[in-house]
Structure 1
């Protein structure tokens, strides 16, 4: 989820903690829990700092090890230890318990996005991405805001957020069912589909689709359960060429290939260099595919420049390559 949604969930968990008899009867503990749940909801995304390094590091690691099972435990212990150092009167057991819930819930809700997480590490590095809830879901965000308003005007926060989270459980189930119906509609439209990747949008009844069968890639969108195919690409095996092998050694290309499950490739020859491009088919936006990896190589297969990331015009992409 986005940072704002994680923030409101952290505050809501602090409100839920008022149902904890120990926290409710001990202000220092309750205040510490509120801090712990807010930080706990943000902590796994501290790897966003990798953006300052480069996109390749960010793509390879964001929502990776920081969202893993060992990291969940380590985050909760670290946050609890720091807060307890400054607030030794707090009940450390209850502080840790609520902070742990916050960190677990952060990773759990991220699983429902199209981006996903490596939440099952260290058992597997597979990305778990259910594609049911958009990274920013207006309903989830604003139902929390409504809860805060009721709280502000005297409502009991524990009861408020118990009701809200029961509603959200129902909302997730409805979204799961809707996605299931969309998948059925795709199978009806493309009966021989071997893989279907469904990405939600901020609009409840609109979905992005990337589909493949044995010979083609399909890029489509769904409105309710009506499937509209936007692009069709022939599947071509990546050639076994020195040019390709050299391109794959580049960290930007390697990062892209480690993350993207469905992409096509292009090789373009120029007078003095070659260009290898990989294009993720999940993120079509206004006739453009903004998530790419590209590398330029000279005639001796030395890498001149490369780039990976989200960029929304060819001109900007070329400028990025000139800067590397």
Structure 2
């Protein structure tokens, strides 16, 4: 999930913690739990600090080991220990329980969207994703805002509003998972181009009725479309180039980082005045007719790197960010 959603979930868990008598009756414990769940809801994303090194390392490691099962107790113990130390007299085991819950929920919610995590590292370094919740889900975000407002304004007791909130969200998650599985199983019935070897990947969007759809093709291309209002609509085919520049780009750490986290990367080559621009894009993510998660390598005619970029595109990015000024 995005940072803002993890933040409101942290506030929600702070409210839910009031069902614990120790939190209700012990101010030091309440304070330690409050800060513990806020920090725990963000802790696995501490790998954002890797951006200080470079974006390549961040893309490769984000949601990796920091979101793995071995790290869950480490995050919880570190945060609970710190907040207990800063709130003298706080009951450590209660603080640890709620902090651990916050850390676990962070990882579970991240598993539910398309980006996924390396949750089962070191057993395997495979990225796991369940693909049924959007990176930003307006239902999850807005429901937490409403619940926190009801609590903050004194309209309802947190012991009432937050158990109800999380019971409803549990039902919501189960419903989304069921819809995703049903649609994936039935997609072949709606695909007029279906062949017996076809497989489908459905990516959730902020709309409850719309899903992005990716179908790998035998020739190494991808069929891109969407499911909306009970209809499958193919919008384009992403053709992947077979060119020496593509093979050369695979040796670059930026491309290796993207290939490490994605099984849906497709490369295209653009001849330029200085040589070639090789653009790898993750075709699972399509926004405004573009694929925003990319690795771009600019190289000369000898396939030597001149410049590169890896990460999420935004409106602020231009050709200059990709070294195209060499042209």
* Same fold (TM > 0.5): yes
Identify the range of structure 1 (142-151 vs 202-211) with the bigger mean alpha-carbon deviation: 142-151
Structure 1 match to 2:25? 25
CA RMSD after TM alignment: 2.3
For structure 2, the residue ranges without an aligned partner over 5 or more in a row are none
Could you tell me how far 1:105 is from its partner in structure 2? 0.8
- 1:88–1:277: structure 2 CA closer, same or farther, 3 Å change rule? same
Structure 1 match to 2:213? 209
Structure 2 match to 1:143? 143
Structure 2 match to 1:251? 253
Could you tell me how far 1:191 is from its partner in structure 2? 4.2
Could you tell me how far 1:21 is from its partner in structure 2? 2.2
Structure 2 match to 1:284? 286
Map 1:81-92 onto structure 2 (within 5 A): 81-92=81-92
User: How many correspondences in the alignment?
Assistant: 321
Structure 2 match to 1:229? 234
Could you tell me how far 1:199 is from its partner in structure 2? 1.2
Map 1:1-324 onto structure 2 (within 5 A): 1-151=1-151, 152-188=153-189, 189=191, 190-192=194-196, 194-215=198-219, 216-234=221-239, 238=242, 241=244, 243-270=245-272, 272-311=274-313, 316-322=318-324
Contact 2:307–2:322 (CA<8 Å) still a contact in 1? no
Could you tell me how far 1:41 is from its partner in structure 2? 0.2
Contact 1:3–1:42 (CA<8 Å) still a contact in 2? yes
- 1:212–1:163: structure 2 CA closer, same or farther, 3 Å change rule? same
Could you tell me how far 1:170 is from its partner in structure 2? 0.9
Contact 2:258–2:265 (CA<8 Å) still a contact in 1? no
For structure 1, the residue ranges without an aligned partner over 5 or more in a row are none
Q: After superposition, give the CA deviation of every residue in 1:110-168 in whole Å (9 maximum; x if it has no partner).
A: 11111111111111111111111112111111211222233232422122211111111
Report the Cα distance in structure 2 between the residues aligned to 1:136 and 1:150, rounded to whole angstroms: 22
Q: After superposition, give the CA deviation of every residue in 1:51-86 in whole Å (9 maximum; x if it has no partner).
A: 343321121011111111121111111111211221
TM-score (norm 2): 0.90
- 1:245–1:265: structure 2 CA closer, same or farther, 3 Å change rule? closer
